[in-house]
DNA sequence: GTCTATACGAAGATAGAC
DNA sequence: GTCTATCTTCGTATAGAC
């Protein structure tokens, strides 16, 4: 509490975790305060505009981590199948092996959607395009590559929902294991 | 407002729509009041335990409609592919062509999850079993049938999330169009 | 940079009139 | 069965001390 003050990055990561668990409207300042160990007023010191500022910081943190890890795995030098394995590994890390939710889900519900849906949609399109590019590199025809890329993102999102509903991460882990084959064809 | 009093069924349907749009915690009594046209106290007359009662009523309404329409389509007399087409049509109706969310999503986030996740998981297992049964009838081996059934539910859920994030129902509609082939094999 | 104190409206819930 | 009034707690936000 005293000497080990949290860096802003650590604070944002804890805020992000609370948003993923409770959703935008469910993540009250009280819960965000508990999650960070900071008083409500301290949160306002770091995020003057309150909750929306915190959600924006969470969005930025996810965007940065995604770019440096998930998208970076797709842009590697190895063979397509190998890059997709690395990509799936980074996704599994990002989603805590299927136990954590995606902001593309929780930030597109209710009033948060009005603020974040568009930005989330743009990011999702970037991811679909990156996946389609890899399929193209493997010889898949353009239209088919786009469909498979979209289906891959659909399966990532769907397996997270099904895993959460069933209380069992197996559907997500299976989706990650099959991801390279799903995109490149079997 | 005066002569055309809402039936309980109509009230519950409006409450359900509000939960699907705003999520459990986002659907405040004020929003539920607006959605139904009833004052907050009138809501308590119909649902004495408040919001949780309303959410339970919404869950029951969905369960009944799903059983009588969606699951009934799967249990029909026609050929498997034909039943799956009917099933996909009922799903499209239920999800408003991909514009409405699923309670399996919004009721498994945050504090609602503690109350509803288990029941939702049970229902999802029933659906997966019903889909696997149809695949079995078409000659698909048991283990493969279960995997395809799970993948089908994953795709339904994922396509709803992706459609919502992109602001475009095309991914959901494509999932519905391909549903029979996805389950029975191509 | 974090705390205590405080304000204010929203949210959830209840009592009782009509 | 719906309304007005009321109550309490929670959620958001700010001021100012340390």
CA B41 to C1' D7, in angstroms, rounded, equals: 14
Closest residue, CA to C1' of C15: B41
Nucleotide closest to residue A45 (CA–C1')? C1
**What does the pLDDT look like over B67-78, one tens digit per residue?**
999 999 999 899
Q: Write down the pLDDT at residue B79.
A: 97
**What does the pLDDT look like over B8-67, one tens digit per residue?**
999 999 999 999 999 999 999 999 999 999 999 999 999 999 999 999 999 999 999 999
CB contact under 8 A, A111 and B156: no
Q: Write down the pLDDT at residue A76.
A: 86
Proximity of residue B44 CB to strand C below 7 A: yes
Q: Which residue of A has its CA nearest to B21?
A: A110
% residues pLDDT > 70 (chain B): 98
Q: What is the DSSP string of B37-75?
A: T--HHHHHHH-TTTHHHHHHHHHHHHHHHIIIIIIHHHT
Q: Walk along chain A (186 residues) and give the pLDDT tens digit of each residue.
A: 444 678 999 999 999 999 999 999 999 999 999 999 999 999 999 999 999 999 999 999 999 999 999 999 999 899 999 999 999 999 999 999 999 999 999 999 999 999 999 999 999 999 999 999 999 999 999 999 999 999 999 999 999 999 999 999 999 999 999 999 999 997
CA distance A2 to chain B (A): 31
d(CA B11, CA B17): 10
CA distance A21 to chain B (A): 6
Inform me whether the pLDDT recorded for B102 exceeds 70.
Answer: yes
% residues pLDDT > 70 (chain A): 98
Q: Write down the pLDDT at residue A1.
A: 41
d(CA A170, CA A98): 8
CA A30 to C1' D10, in angstroms, rounded, equals: 9
Say what the pTM is: 0.97
Inform me whether the pLDDT recorded for B185 exceeds 50.
Answer: yes
Q: Which residues of B touch A (CB under 8 A)?
A: 21-27, 101-102, 104-106, 108-111, 113, 117-118, 120-121, 124-125, 147, 150-151, 153-159, 161-162, 164-167, 171, 174-175
- Residue A54 CA, chain-centre distance (Å), reads 16
Task: Categorize the per-residue pLDDT at B3 as very low, low, confident or very high, splitting at 50, 70 and 90.
Answer: very low
Q: Write down the pLDDT at residue B182.
A: 98
Q: Write down the pLDDT at residue A5.
A: 78
Which of B116, B125, B165 best probes binding to A when mutated, by most A CB atoms within 10 angstroms?
A: B165
Q: What is the mean pLDDT of chain B?
A: 96
Inform me whether the pLDDT recorded for B1 exceeds 50.
Answer: no
**What does the pLDDT look like over B147-163, one tens digit per residue?**
999 999 999 999 999 99
- In this structure, the number of other CB atoms found within 10 A of the CB of residue A53 comes to 15
Which of B103, B157, B167, B186 best probes binding to A when mutated, by most A CB atoms within 10 angstroms?
A: B157
Which of A22, A104, A109 best probes binding to B when mutated, by most B CB atoms within 10 angstroms?
A: A109
For residues B89-104, give the mean pLDDT. Answer: 98
For residues B80-102, give the mean pLDDT. Answer: 98
Q: Write down the pLDDT at residue B4.
A: 62
Give the CA distances from residue B76 to residues A6, B90, B139, in Å, rounded to whole numbers and listed in that order: 60, 13, 18
Proximity of residue B143 CB to strand C below 7 A: no
């Amino acid at each position: 509490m005293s000497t080990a003050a949290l860096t802003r990055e650590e604070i944002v990561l804890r805020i992000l975790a609370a948003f993923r668990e409770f959703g935008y409207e469910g993540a009250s300042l009280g819960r965000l305060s508990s999650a960070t160990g900071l008083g409500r007023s301290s949160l306002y010191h770091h995020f003057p505009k309150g909750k929306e500022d915190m959600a924006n910081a969470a969005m930025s943190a996810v965007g940065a981590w995604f770019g440096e890890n998930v998208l970076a795995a797709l842009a590697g030098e190895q063979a397509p199948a190998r890059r997709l394995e690395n990509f799936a590994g980074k996704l599994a890390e990002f989603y805590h092996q299927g136990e954590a939710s995606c902001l593309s889900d929780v930030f597109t519900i209710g009033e948060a959607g009005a603020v974040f849906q568009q930005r989330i949609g743009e990011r999702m399109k970037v991811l679909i395009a990156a996946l389609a590019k890899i399929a193209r590199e493997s010889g898949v025809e353009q239209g088919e590559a786009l469909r498979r890329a979209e289906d891959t993102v659909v399966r990532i999102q769907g397996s997270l929902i099904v895993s959460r509903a069933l209380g069992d991460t197996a559907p997500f882990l299976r989706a990650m294991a099959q991801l390279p084959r799903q995109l490149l064809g079997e």
